[in-house]
Amino acid sequence: VELTPKEFEVLALMARNSGRIFERETLLRKVWGYDYQGSTRTIDEHIKRLRSKLFAVDKKHTYIQTVWGVGYKFEVKEL
């Protein structure tokens, strides 16, 4: 799977902490740094692209789960 550097950083961070729920702000701080001035929607767009790329190579599993009202977590689930 070809990923951008930021996509890779987000995925690697979440995969290393499988099952942990990450708030958008936490992902921004850990991947983009404390001085990032953009919107938390940046995370949503990166997650959307990651899901699409991962689904293209494995249509039997999902890897990134949405935890409504909180954020996202890495957890492999069968479809």
Identity of the amino acid at 38? G
Over residues 51-77, mean pLDDT: 97
61, HSE (Cβ side, Cα atoms, 13 Å): 9
In our burial notation (b when 16+ CB lie closer than 10 A, e otherwise), range 42-57 reads bbeebbeebbeebeee
What CA–CA distance (Å, rounded) separates 73 from 43?
Answer: 12
- Does residue 72 surpass a pLDDT of 90? yes
Q: What is the structure's pLDDT at 37?
A: 87
Helix (H, G, I), strand (E, B) or coil at 73: strand
Tens digits of residue pLDDT in 18-57: 999 999 999 999 999 988 888 889 999 999 999 999 999 9
Greater model confidence, 40 or 4: 4
